[in-house]
Amino acid sequence: MSSITSKAQVAQKITSLLKTLPKDRLNHHASFKEIQLARFENKANIEQISERDLRLQFIALKELVNDKYKNYYALDDKLLKPKSNPEYYNRLMSEIKGERKETLFSAIRTVVFGK
């Protein structure tokens, strides 16, 4: 019986961590956050997963939330601003963040002239 309550506690920790994840910037067909919340809120799914696997999933999610690998494998300027097209990354990130949208004319100009 203690294993069931322990599983429930770990699952509750996982759902609380999932709720702290920010909303996706881009609209997707499936959201990682929503799918995982539905998965860990379902009691039948939790009973099928071993306690060890739940703990490992909690640790992996905690590392994901804390951006462990983003900080560990930091990107340098050679990747972010390549010599061949230095504004490409900036243009992509500004579009993802919603700062500015390309119009049809500017998109055609970008394709034709590469700027």
Interval 45-66: pLDDT, tens: 899 999 999 999 999 999 988 8
Q: Please tell me the number of Cα atoms within 13 Å of 5 on its side-chain side.
A: 2
Instruction: Report residues of the chain scoring pLDDT below 70.
Output: 1-5, 115
Output DSSP code: residue 4: H
Whether the CB-CB separation of 59 and 17 falls below 8 Å is answered with no
Alpha helix ranges (H) inside 21-103: 32-41, 43-48, 51-65, 68-72, 77-80, 88-97
CB atoms near residue 79 (< 10 Å): 8
pLDDT at 4: 59
74: tokens are 């930091």
pLDDT at 99: 74
